[in-house]
Amino acid sequence: MRTLSTSNRTRRTMTRISVLGVASATALALTACGGSGSVKANTSTTKGGPVPGPASQSGGSSSTPAPSPSFDPAAGPMIDAKDLPKTCSGLVTDADMQLALGNPLNGGDFFTAYQPDAGHKQTGRVKCQYGVVLDNAGKITSDQVDVQLATYADAASAQSRAAATVGTLAGGGAQYTQASVGGHPATYVTEAGKDAVLVMYDGNRTFLITVQEALVKGDDAKAFSLKIGAALYKHTTPTSAQIPAGGPSGGSASGSAPAGSGSAPAGGSASSGASAPPANPAPSSPSKS
């Protein structure tokens, strides 16, 4: 069993995740959760408008496109922590990464299972780092993509943790944009000169994808994150649960994050606290933790 040692960048990512604080319930979006845990090594490497219909000479008619599916994250499936993936390929496969990026990632994959953060009603959390580089001592020096999935006692707890995360990032001046992962509301967050983060919650789960700016940035980073989010949801959700709960989802919105007053707690290790993601609400400034 290999012991996880975080690099400077990894610590920065984990610190961001741990800077949760209790945000107002109106904020929604981001994933992760804390707790100390065992670490396992995984050796794999790795809108368009209506389409016009045929018109007859007597006054034809046009067909209208079918509405895009829309899901209610609060009504999503309830997943037992024991059913969380046990390997990186159970979250996102190397083939998914290659398909989304256009070429394979350099480096290997590293899987981590954490003890749940009972204080936030978290029941389980797993993570995989992709494109990992290890030094001669077996310590992680860098990674390119970080994928996390956590389960909670109920949907309200998952949404609350996501809201806290998004609120914290917004309070730090990050830009956010509402997004959709196959009809599931999500929030895409970017910080100038830093990694891109996709946050989503569905049922009692939160999803968090962090992409290193050095790998891909700008619009390409968003497109990549959404593809990875779709693969993650597909691999970890029972097929019967992927049924639309309503009509087409609304438009997207973006904006400058409101100023916040939350300060980040010290930490950044694998045992620090974390947050969970919600749907697509406009985050409010977080309160101090």
Over its length of 289 residues, how does the chain's per-residue pLDDT go in tens digits? 333 344 444 444 433 433 333 333 334 433 333 333 333 344 343 334 444 444 444 444 556 666 678 899 999 999 999 999 999 999 999 999 999 999 999 889 999 999 999 889 999 999 999 999 888 888 888 899 999 999 999 999 999 999 888 888 888 778 889 999 999 999 999 876 788 999 999 999 999 999 999 999 989 999 999 999 999 999 999 886 654 444 333 333 333 333 333 323 233 333 333 343 433 443 433 333 2
Residue 239 gets the label, from left (phi > 0), alpha (psi -120 to 50) or beta, of: alpha
For residues 76 and 174, give the distance between their C-alpha atoms in angstroms, rounded to a whole number: 28
Q: Say what the pLDDT of residue 170 is.
A: 80
Q: Say what the pLDDT of residue 267 is.
A: 31
For residues 215 and 58, give the distance between their C-alpha atoms in angstroms, rounded to a whole number: 56
With DSSP H G I counted as helix, E B as strand and the rest as coil, what are the percentages for the chain, rounded to 5? 25, 25, 50
Q: Say what the pLDDT of residue 160 is.
A: 95
Our measurement of the distance from residue 145's CA atom to the centroid of its chain's CA atoms, rounded to an integer in Å, reads 11
Helix axes 94-101, 218-236, angle to 10 degrees: 150
Residue 226 contacts by C-beta under 8 Å, 6 or more apart in sequence? 179, 180, 181, 186, 188, 198
